[in-house]
C-alpha cells in the first residue's frame, strides 16, 4: 500500500496539534537524515535521537506562539535547525570552528530565515543539555520538579507522592533543583552557552 504524503501546511498543523499520524510521518521521513548527519561526524545513536527530539520540540514550541513563518519547505527548515544545533554542539564541545565553515550554509541560503533557525538551534541545544541532566536525576526528584514547575504546591506534591511530611517535600524539591543547577553549571558545553 502506498504511504500517504502530506503537504507542508498539513505537517505544520499536525505538529502544532501533536497529531499522531503526522508525528509518525515526520519520524519516518526525517529521522534518517538526522541520523546520517550525526553519524557522519561520529556521533552516537542516542545523540541522533536527542537531536531529532529537541528540534521537533523547539519547532513545536515556536508554532504555539503563532509567529512561525517560513518561505522554504518545512523539511528544509527542519533540517537547517537540526544542522545548526548539531554543528553548534560540536563546535562548543570540540572547540571546532565549524560555524565559519561552508558546512553551515550548504543547506540554508535564505537569509531572512537564518535568524529564526539560529534562535531555534540555540534553544534546542539548551533543551538538550537540560534534559541530559534532568534525566540523570532520581525519579523522585524528576517528579517533584515536574509537578512544581506545573504549578503544584508542596502540599499537592506531597499528596501526589503520598508523602505526609510537607516540610520534607519542600526541602527535597529545593535540593533537587539545586543539584540540577549545580550539575548544569559544571557542564562545559552549557558554560559556553551562558
Partner 1 sequence: MNDEQEKLMYAKLKGELSEEQILSFDQKLNSDKEFRADFEIYQLAYLNLGDKNAMILRGKLNEIYSKTQEVKKGGKMIKMIKQNRFSAVAAVAAIVLLIGAYWFVGSSKESLNEKLYNTYYNQDEVYVNTRSKVNLDIDVLQTGMSLLEKKDFNGALSEFNKLPGSVTANYYAGVANMELKQHAVAVSKFDFVITNYLNLFYDQAKWYKGLCLVKLDRENEALSLFGEIANSESYFKEKAKEIVVDLKIK
Binder to partner 1 among 60, 68, 75, 179 (CB under 8 A)?
60
Helix ranges (DSSP H) in 17-110: 20-40, 45-65, 74-94
Q: 23 or 98, CB closer to partner 1?
A: 23
* By the rule CB under 8 A, 168 interacts with partner 1: yes
The contact pattern for partner 1, residues 6-45, with x = CB under 8 A and - = no contact, is ------------x-x--xx--xx--x--------------
* By the rule CB under 8 A, 131 interacts with partner 1: yes
- Please enumerate in sequence order all residues whose Cβ is within 8 A of that of 101, keeping only pairs 6 or more positions apart, or say none: none
Burial class (CB in 10 A: 0-12, 13-18, 19+), 166: middle
Sign of CA dihedral 99, 46, 107, 121: negative
The C-alpha cell at 168 is 520534607
In the complex, the smallest distance separating the C-beta of residue 171 from partner 1, rounded to whole angstroms, is 10
The closest of 69, 75, 41, 25 to 55, measured between CA atoms, is 75
Binder to partner 1 among 64, 65, 67, 167 (CB under 8 A)?
64
Query: Rounded CA gap, 155 and 138, in Å?
Result: 20
Residue 164: Cβ within 10 Å count: 8
In the complex, the smallest distance separating the C-beta of residue 60 from partner 1, rounded to whole angstroms, is 6
Binder to partner 1 among 36, 101, 165, 192 (CB under 8 A)?
165
- Please enumerate in sequence order all residues whose Cβ is within 8 A of that of 36, keeping only pairs 6 or more positions apart, or say none: none
* By the rule CB under 8 A, 145 interacts with partner 1: yes
In the complex, the smallest distance separating the C-beta of residue 4 from partner 1, rounded to whole angstroms, is 16
In the complex, the smallest distance separating the C-beta of residue 184 from partner 1, rounded to whole angstroms, is 5
Helix (H, G, I), strand (E, B) or coil at 12: helix
Contacting residues toward partner 1, per CB under 8 A: 18, 20, 23-24, 27-28, 31, 49, 52-53, 56-57, 60-61, 64, 126-127, 130-131, 134, 138-140, 143, 145-146, 149-151, 161-165, 168, 172, 174, 177-178, 180-181, 184-185, 194
Amino acid at each position: 500500500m502506498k504511504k500517504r504524503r502530506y503537504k507542508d501546511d498539513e505537517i505544520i498543523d499536525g505538529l502544532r496539534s501533536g497529531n499522531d499520524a503526522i508525528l509518525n510521518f515526520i519520524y519516518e521521513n526525517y529521522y534518517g537524515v538526522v541520523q546520517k548527519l550525526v553519524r557522519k561526524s561520529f556521533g552516537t545513536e542516542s545523540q541522533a535521537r536527542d537531536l531529532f527530539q529537541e528540534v521537533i520540540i523547539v519547532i513545536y514550541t515556536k508554532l504555539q506562539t503563532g509567529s512561525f513563518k517560513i518561505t522554504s519547505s518545512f523539511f528544509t527548515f527542519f533540517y537547517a535547525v537540526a544542522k545548526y544545533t548539531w554543528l553548534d554542539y560540536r563546535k562548543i564541545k570540540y572547540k571546532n570552528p565549524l560555524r565559519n565553515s561552508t558546512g553551515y550554509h550548504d543547506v540554508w541560503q535564505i537569509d531572512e530565515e537564518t535568524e529564526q533557525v539560529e534562535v531555534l538551534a540555540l534553544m534546542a541545544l539548551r533543551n538538550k543539555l537540560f534534559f541530559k541532566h534532568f534525566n540523570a536525576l532520581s525519579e523522585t526528584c524528576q517528579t517533584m520538579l515536574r509537578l512544581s514547575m506545573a504549578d503544584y504546591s508542596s502540599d499537592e506534591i506531597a499528596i501526589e507522592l503520598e508523602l505526609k511530611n510537607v516540610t520534607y517535600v519542600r526541602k527535597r524539591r529545593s535540593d533537587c533543583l539545586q543539584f540540577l543547577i549545580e550539575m548544569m553549571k559544571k557542564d562545559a558545553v552549557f558554560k559556553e552557552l551562558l
